[in-house]
Amino acid sequence: MAKVTHLECSACNKRLEAGRIENLCTCGGPLLARYDLDTIRYRWRRREVRNGPSTMWRYAPVLPANGSIVTLGEGWTPLVRANRLGAMLAAGNLWVKDESLNPTGSFKARGLSCAVSVCVEMGIRKVAMASAGNASSALAAYAAAAGIEANIFMPRDVPQPNYLECKAHGAHVTLVDGLISDCALLVAGRAAEEGWFDIGGMREPYRLEGKKTMGYEVAEQLDWELPDAIVYPTGGGVGLIAMWKAFQEMEKLGWIGGRRPKMIAVQAEGCQPIVRAFEENASESRFFENSHTIAAGLRVPKPIGDFLVLQALRQSAGTAIAVSDDEIMDAAVQLAGSEGIYPAPEGAASAAALKKLLQSGFLAPGSRIVLYNTATGLKYPEAWASRLGQALAATEHDKLGGLITPR
């Protein structure tokens, strides 16, 4: 069963044939995969989902691959009830979707398992990507598993673990003295002559399909009742757009009703194009100059899918909010200390934002809230070392019990 019936431009609604190699629409808009949900809903029931594998491929009927799946066990990550953090923040019904358990340590595994599977199916042998971090190591891993060539362009100051993983998995890595947007221009400039398929965020339709399983899973894990709010650390915004799409699909499948969570995009103060656009009531963002933040995955100065993120925020009566790097790492320490989850700064950013949203009254203490920890803190040794090093210097070392002399 060829499941994707067609691709649809998210900007101009143009329809394109499925089963062909496509990047952006001619108008520049990202393409979305569409399915025959009216037929699927009679062949695949909600209660049957639990019989599927304990990976994101339990939702295979609404995923694009037709059989040649490249999987490392991605998805079906725990939804952790965060009682202790909730008590500290006065949030009585708080959950953390812990994406740190994915292969390569981040939710990027979902998108790349899906997109690389489709590449294999279409006979693509060489792919390229500009990435500020976790997407690169996920691509490298899935390309290695599929036996295809990965060409990766990364800003030179990415966290070192991602670089090491890419090299370990045998990818061709080019470090660039610039931002992810500079890396993207390099890929775009060379893709045609090198015969690379550009698998960059929102530049092809299938990574988004993998990421949407974060939305299916949260619904299934909460017994098909969506939470009141989803707090999501937003760089390119692909995960947020993807979950919004998942909710629309689930409604068409008859699995959920029309109620939606408030979608909340969290950004870093040093790179907040979506927050600015949301506050200015603009339909798209402007390039955010001199972007900088400890949360490398949030450093996307002009997301391609910005208009789709903004639509989802507004349609869901959600919001966009920025947090500082200090607030991020304070929240990281709090999350690690109260829940045993060692978060990436991006994941901690959602906890930092939650604190503010409860204080301002935007979210009520009794609301059912899901935070996304999008990656493991193990990938950010510099950020953690600098935060904990500061704490040691600022207090008395002995009182922390840090130093013992054996006799």
Ligand X SMILES: *Cc1c(COP(=O)(O)O)cnc(C)c1O
From 198, 306, 327, 346, residue interacting with ligand X (rule: CB under 6 A): 346
Answer whether 6's CB lies under 8 Å from 17's CB: yes
Select from 1-9, 60-68, 232-240, 276-284 the region that touches Zn ion (CB under 5 A). 1-9
Select from 4-12, 140-148, 235-243, 382-390 the region that touches Zn ion (CB under 5 A). 4-12
Which of 7/65 has CB closer to Zn ion? 7
Coil, helix or strand at residue 153: strand
Does residue 159 bind ligand X (CB under 6 A)? no
Least separation in angstroms between CB 6 and ligand X: 24
Which of 139/238 has CB closer to ligand X? 238
- Residues 6 or more apart whose CB falls under 8 angstroms from that of 274 comprise 234, 237, 265, 267, 285, 303, 306, 309, 310, 313, 320
Q: What CA–CA distances, in Å, run from 381 to 104, 150, 304, 385, 390?
A: 15, 25, 29, 6, 14
From 25, 128, 199, 344, residue interacting with Zn ion (rule: CB under 5 A): 25
Instruction: Return the structure tokens found at 224.
Output: 């098909």
Find which of Zn ion, ligand X, none residue 346 binds, CB within 5 to 8 Å per kind.
ligand X
Q: 373: part of which helix (H) or strand (E)?
A: strand 368-373
Does residue 331 bind Zn ion (CB under 5 A)? no
Which of 86/201 has CB closer to ligand X? 201
Find which of ligand X, Zn ion, none residue 27 binds, CB within 5 to 8 Å per kind.
Zn ion
Which of 200/227 has CB closer to ligand X? 200
Question: Hunting for tokens 């695949």 — which residue is that?
Answer: 44
Which of 215/235 has CB closer to ligand X? 235
From 4, 7, 9, 94, residue interacting with Zn ion (rule: CB under 5 A): 9
Answer whether 148's CB lies under 8 Å from 126's CB: yes
Which of 14/126 has CB closer to Zn ion? 14
Q: Are strands 368-373 and 93-98 parallel, antiparallel or unpaired?
A: parallel
CA 54 to CA 62: how far, in whole Å? 16
Find which of ligand X, Zn ion, none residue 233 binds, CB within 5 to 8 Å per kind.
ligand X
DSSP 216: H
Does residue 374 bind ligand X (CB under 6 A)? yes
Q: How many residues bind ligand X (CB under 6 A)?
A: 18
Q: What CA–CA distances, in Å, run from 389 to 89, 343, 383?
A: 25, 17, 10
Closest C-alpha to 129, from 104, 112, 106, 107: 112
Coil, helix or strand at residue 117: helix
From 64, 103, 159, 233, residue interacting with ligand X (rule: CB under 6 A): 233
Q: Give the per-residue contact string, 274-313, with ligand X (x = CB under 6 A; - = no).
A: -----------------------x----------------
Which of 128/371 has CB closer to ligand X? 371
CA 253 to CA 43: how far, in whole Å? 10
Instruction: Return the structure tokens found at 3.
Output: 């499941």
Least separation in angstroms between CB 400 and ligand X: 29
DSSP 208-273: HHHHTHHHHHHHHHTTT---SEEEEE-SS-HHHHHHHHHHHHHHHTTSS-S--PEEEEEEETTB-H
Find which of ligand X, Zn ion, none residue 348 binds, CB within 5 to 8 Å per kind.
none
82-141: contacts with ligand X (CB under 6 A): 106, 108, 133-135
348 φψ region: left (φ > 0), alpha (ψ -120 to 50), beta (else): alpha
Instruction: Return the structure tokens found at 97.
Output: 């979707």
Find which of ligand X, Zn ion, none residue 273 binds, CB within 5 to 8 Å per kind.
none
From 238, 253, 263, 332, residue interacting with ligand X (rule: CB under 6 A): 238
Which residues would be at the binding site for Zn ion (CB under 5 A)? 9, 11-12, 14, 25, 27, 29
Which residues would be at the binding site for ligand X (CB under 6 A)? 106, 108, 133-135, 201, 233-239, 297, 344, 346, 374-375
